[in-house]
Structure 1
Amino acid sequence: MSRASEDSNRRMLRARDAMDRAYAEPLDVPTLARLAHVSPAHFSRTFTATFGEPPHRYLQRRRVERAMFLLRSSDRSVTEICMSVGFSSLGTFSRVFADIVGEPPSVYRRRGPLAPVPSCFGMRWLRPSGETARSEKPGDPARS
């Protein structure tokens, strides 16, 4: 791997780490590009090439991942959870959640509380996985 490639990957990781830490904050491409020390257009192209999805979609998935946990481990309202993970509209949250998870937040919540399992297993099992999450529901036997 060339030095330039390593530097580019490091810059993209810096921005992705910021999204992981501050997912509930209003993050936009220009802000993330400044963290990576590149132009917004270059940031979008490079992030997509590096991680396989645009920065906005990565941030949405991260927010939905956190919402999935809160829906099944707290009694907070869907609206309160929506706002606490960084969405500003319940309609957008519900649409994005259903697109990523395969069902609306209220239906997902009805599955009940999370069983006590090691956190590393729970995080891996609950993490939305792009295309498969749209076609299969988490917990289906076919999803192994």
Structure 2
Amino acid sequence: MDRADLVRLRKARDRIDREYADPLDVESLARTALMSAGHFSRSFRAAYGETPYGYLMTRRIERAKALLRRGDLSVTEVCVAVGCTSLGSFSTSFAKLVGVPRASTGRPSPPTSLMQRSTASRASPRRSPDRSGIEKRPPGDAP
């Protein structure tokens, strides 16, 4: 890879660093580097050791970690703030990059220390009315 290619790749990488929260696609980044999408993806991976998408997600997750540590935003708000549109894929990427172990269901466990604040505790009522308005009582619960 020649020096000119590296300079153009750096421009695209710098754009990812600046605009990580915006919608970015390979074609747009390739235009920034004055390359075809395929050549750009291969060259980016060769130069930086990861795909453009992988690099973008790493930047987003790094920023998300900082926002979650601050503690004033919910997980969903952080997800949107860093440019992710799916909470599920954000959680999966977060778990993959941060190294949070997966639950036995195969789905990622939320990083409790960072995400705990966003979950509200809900008290379960002992009695709940059905549609007729009559309260149901758990078995063995005396009136």
Q: Does the TM-score normalized on the shorter chain lie above 0.5? A: yes
Q: Distance in 1 between matches of 2:80 and 2:19?
A: 14
Query: How far is the alpha carbon of 1:74 from its aligned partner?
Result: 3.0
Q: Distance in 2 between matches of 1:111 and 1:105?
A: 8
Q: Is the 8 A contact 1:71 1:81 kept in 2?
A: yes
- The yes-or-no answer on 1:38 pairing with 2:43 is no
Greater shift, 19-28 or 67-76, is seen at 67-76
1:40-84 CA distance string (max 9 Å, x none): 000000000000000000000000000000000132100000011
Q: Distance in 2 between matches of 1:30 and 1:12?
A: 13
- The yes-or-no answer on 1:75 pairing with 2:72 is yes
Query: How far is the alpha carbon of 1:108 from its aligned partner?
Result: 4.1
1:27-46 CA distance string (max 9 Å, x none): 00000000000100000000
Distance 1:73 1:109, change over 3 A: same
RMSD: 1.8
Q: Could you say which structure has the larger radius of gyration? A: 2
Match for residue 97 of structure 2?
Answer: 100
Match for residue 129 of structure 2?
Answer: none
Q: Distance in 1 between matches of 2:96 and 2:39?
A: 27
Q: Distance in 2 between matches of 1:52 and 1:45?
A: 10
SS in 2 for 1:26: coil
Select which of 63, 88, 101 maps to 2:60. Answer: 63
Alignment of 1:1-144 (within 5 A): 5-103=2-100, 104-109=109-114
Q: Distance in 2 between matches of 1:20 and 1:62?
A: 7
Structure whose residues are more often helix by fraction: 1
Letter in 2 for 1:109: L
Q: Is the 8 A contact 2:8 2:33 kept in 1?
A: yes
Q: TM-score, normalised by structure 2?
A: 0.72
Which ranges of 4 or more aligned residues in structure 1 deviate by more than 3 Å?
none
Q: TM-score, normalised by structure 1?
A: 0.71
SS in 2 for 1:38: coil
Higher relative contact order (CA 8 A, sep 6+): 1
Question: What are structure 2's unaligned runs of at least 5 residues?
Answer: 101-108, 118-143
